[in-house]
Amino acid sequence: MGMSGLLREIASTYDADAGTKRGVIGQIVLRGVAERTDLSLPPSLFAKGYGGQASAAATPWIGVFDPAINSKPGKGLYLAYIFSADLKTVSLTLQQGITHLEDRLGRGQARQDHLRRQARRLRGAVARQRRAGWIDEPILRHHADRPRAYEAASVIARSYELSELPDDGVLGDDLAYAAGLLKRAAVAQEAWYFSDGDGELEVNFAPDARGSHSEDPLAGFHPKDSSDYVANIVARQQVKKRHHEALIDSFGHHAVARGYTPTTRLMHPKDLVLHRTSEGQTPQDEWLVEAKVVRAENPTEAVRQVVGQLFEYSHFLYHERQLEEPHLIGLFTQDIGVYSGYLESKGIASIWRSDGGWDGSPSAERWDMTG
């Protein structure tokens, strides 16, 4: 039957007025989704049908999950085929979980506004991969809060008329494409949680032959303000130090003196990217720098974050895009001791502040980034 047949079967059998009892045909079809073997899902993904619990859902749906990212719909990112309330359309959408927000924001407009803000930020992570025909939000044609929250939670969507539903080949291609967007959005979301500040999520891009760097080596280097800022968090105030941005700013200017061009603009979620500036040529090698503040004289957590983020970015932002993978550098506010050798063994150079300059691992010294 495949995905096309399943979607048609749900549209023809589902009845929200019939409730959720065991013998209701539409509910039986949805409950059976998890056992289906004919849906041709992308590798490692699994599907599950949802038609409501105590009462039938106004807009039934099928969740498609990547277990490396998320296995449940209440929180986190996942894919979903959501039917409109009139069962005339079904939309494949990259969704944010909505139920975990109920305690904090309730089920009304505040939650919808929050979800749309998050969706706009996450949309930046997939903007450069966006295909024609994909929209921001599906139209689910129901006034209840949950369908409206699904609309607000959509990062990107593709809607199909059930009367003109494409064949399994087209649906499979769209689902594979959406699975790739899910991975990119998940990386960006994680980077956002680790980031210092509340700016927009931006997508990186590789330098091209037309020249990505102007004669000014600092043209694309715009670290955030390193002054203190105030964040309002759940009815209390915290003053946060932007040591992270000051670290990037200081090292970026040092890199220029060593013959590198630092770039931060349009590089989020990357902290900093370096290229060599030699004879005005477009640089081929790229150095990806992840900066971390060492807190309480203990580098353990900073090193763990550097390893995780650099490997994730190298895989999803380079390897999966068939770009040449970068040299990796962990940048720290102070000496990380034995962890420097550990990082070198993983192919990651390390650089840290020292009295009057910058010290680093053998790879950093070989690249002339210390001193």
Residue (of 345, 217, 226, 201) closest to 273 by Cα position = 217
Contact 288, 328 (CB under 8 A): yes
Instruction: Determine what percent of the chain is predicted with pLDDT higher than 90.
Output: 60
Contact 350, 370 (CB under 8 A): no
pLDDT in tens, 194-252: 444 444 444 333 333 333 334 455 555 555 544 444 444 344 333 334 578 888 888 98
- C-alpha span between 361 and 287 (Å, rounded): 15
- Residues forming beta bridges with residue 81, ordered by sequence position: 62, 92
**How many other C-beta atoms are found inside a 10 Å radius of the C-beta of residue 282?**
12
What is the distance, to the nearest Å, from the Cα of residue 303 to the centroid of all Cα atoms in its chain? 21
Lowest mean pLDDT among 105-109, 170-174, 199-203, 296-300: 199-203
Residue 316 has pLDDT above 50, yes or no: yes
Averaged pLDDT, 313-327: 88
Q: Would you state the structure tokens that stand for residue 88, as one six-digit string?
A: 């005339």
Phi then psi for residue 80, to 5 deg, are: -150, 140
**How many other C-beta atoms are found inside a 10 Å radius of the C-beta of residue 26?**
22
Residue 208 confidence (pLDDT): 36
Domain locations along the chain: 2-194, 229-366
Residue (of 72, 81, 64, 63) closest to 11 by Cα position = 81
User: 229-366 belongs to which CATH class?
Assistant: alpha beta
Residue (of 245, 246, 227, 228) closest to 237 by Cα position = 228
Q: Would you state the structure tokens that stand for residue 215, as one six-digit string?
A: 């004669």
- C-alpha span between 65 and 81 (Å, rounded): 11
- C-alpha span between 312 and 345 (Å, rounded): 17
By CB atoms closer than 10 A (0-12, 13-18, 19+), residue 342 is middle
Residue 296 confidence (pLDDT): 82
Lowest mean pLDDT among 19-23, 95-99, 225-229, 315-319: 225-229
Instruction: Determine what percent of the chain is predicted with pLDDT higher than 70.
Output: 83
Average pLDDT of the residues of the chain: 85
Residue 211 confidence (pLDDT): 36
By CB atoms closer than 10 A (0-12, 13-18, 19+), residue 100 is middle
User: 2-194 belongs to which CATH class?
Assistant: alpha beta
Instruction: Please indicate whether residue 156 or residue 239 has the higher confidence score (pLDDT).
Output: 156
**How many other C-beta atoms are found inside a 10 Å radius of the C-beta of residue 94?**
26
Residue 297 has pLDDT above 70, yes or no: yes
What is the three-class DSSP state of 145? helix
Contact 360, 349 (CB under 8 A): yes
Contact 277, 283 (CB under 8 A): yes
- pLDDT grade, residue 191 (50/70/90)? low
Residue 147 has pLDDT above 80, yes or no: yes
pLDDT in tens, 241-284: 457 888 888 898 899 888 898 887 666 688 899 988 654 445 57
Phi then psi for residue 12, to 5 deg, are: -90, -20
pLDDT in tens, 20-75: 998 999 999 999 999 999 999 999 999 999 999 889 999 999 999 999 899 989 88
Contact 174, 158 (CB under 8 A): yes
Contact 80, 93 (CB under 8 A): yes
DSSP-derived secondary structure for 229-284: EEEEETTEEEEE--HHHHHHHHHHHHHHHTTEEEE-TT-TT-SEEEEE--TTPPP-
